[in-house]
Amino acid sequence: MSNNTREYIIGIICALLVVLLWSSFHIISRTGVQNSLSPYDLVALRLGVGGVIMIPVAFHYGLGSLKLTQAIILAMLAGPGFSIFAFTGYQFAPAAHGAAILAGAIPLFTAPIAWFFLGERLSWFQLCGLFVILMGIAFLAGSSFTSFNNMIWRGDLLFIIGVADWAVFTLLARTWKVQPIRGTALVAVISMTAYLPIYFLFLPSTIDTAPAIEIYGQAIYQGFFSMIITLLLFTRAVESLGATLTTTITAAVPATAALAALILLGEQLTRLSITGVILVSIGMIAAVLGAHPKNSNSSSN
């Protein structure tokens, strides 16, 4: 087996594992807030475990060229900022909605922001992809209001706010040229330091009455697999396959999460929701394939 073939296989395996872990995020998070834990509990487990694990990494890499205020801003956006909106959204909306919006709307927000602030050009194919994503989210929004559970729209709105939060983080991380591993370590440690005291003193919690297996399961997944392992796998996939092919493969997340939610959680989707998930997945692929090469390379950062 040649080195190129070996690298290609490794890249494909890593990308597929990323799809598995990202799809699992929506299922596990939805299950957590629907059972015994509050969204604030999930945020605490995610940031607490991830922060402790990343302490030595943060000390090793340090701030680099970042100022402390810049690191704090990034941490607040990607840590409690994004997590609170995402986890709270799952109190109202099904996993398929979260997967489609949290994954699909990221390019919908980041591309215009990058065009306005960084001067990155958008191809017509990329614009078409973003339009298809927008149509998919519109279908999901329509299904929210026509559903028997008319609280779903609240979850969708929280997901959109979380994505906007993440888009600002992405813009700043690219502008300040933050390395993925350094950024992850700083976000985890600073977020843990800032969030946990507020959580213990002021935020509502149901963790005292939750089963131990649920607490440990969420802690291991949210803090270790979701925050750390996914980043390492994604970075390795990009090294082997390139940013475009890797991101195209991960466009399967909305569809795989919706299928998993149907099988594991029994969450039925309306025709509007199914159409929305399909459109978002197609739009994500088109937006990635239509990106200019230099933009694709920068997006991998």
Q: Which residues are CB-contacts of 124 (< 8 A; sequence separation ≥ 6)?
A: 290
The mean pLDDT of the chain is 85
CA-wise closest residue to 210 among 89, 31, 85? 31
Range of the domain at 64: 3-299
This prediction has a pTM of 0.84
Structure tokens at 124: 């017509």
Where helices occur in 177-252 by DSSP H, the ranges are: 180-202, 212-220, 230-241, 243-250
Cα–Cα distances in Å, from 123 out to 50, 290, 295?
38, 6, 11
Return d(Cα 246, Cα 232) in angstroms, integer. 13
> Do residues 130 and 108 make contact, with C-beta atoms less than 8 angstroms apart?
yes
| pLDDT band with cut points at 50, 70 and 90 for residue 262 | confident
The confidence score (pLDDT) of residue 4 equals: 74
pLDDT > 90 in the chain, percent: 38
The confidence score (pLDDT) of residue 105 equals: 78
Average pLDDT of span 235-260: 78
In which residue are the tokens 């390379």 written?
Answer: 297
Run of H or E residues at 118: none
Return d(Cα 211, Cα 219) in angstroms, integer. 12
Return d(Cα 104, Cα 255) in angstroms, integer. 11
User: Residue type at 168?
Assistant: V
Number of domains in the chain: 1
Average pLDDT of span 37-51: 95
> Do residues 256 and 95 make contact, with C-beta atoms less than 8 angstroms apart?
no
| pLDDT band with cut points at 50, 70 and 90 for residue 295 | very low
Average pLDDT of span 282-287: 78
Q: Out of 55-69, 92-106, 280-294, which region has the weakest mean confidence (pLDDT)?
A: 280-294
Q: How many other CB atoms are there within 10 angstroms of residue 280's CB atom?
A: 31
pLDDT tens-digit map of 184-198: 899 999 999 999 999
CA-wise closest residue to 17 among 285, 288, 231, 184? 231
Give the residue, 199 or 287, on which the prediction is more confident.
199
Would you give the distance in Å from CA 255 to the centre of its chain?
Answer: 15
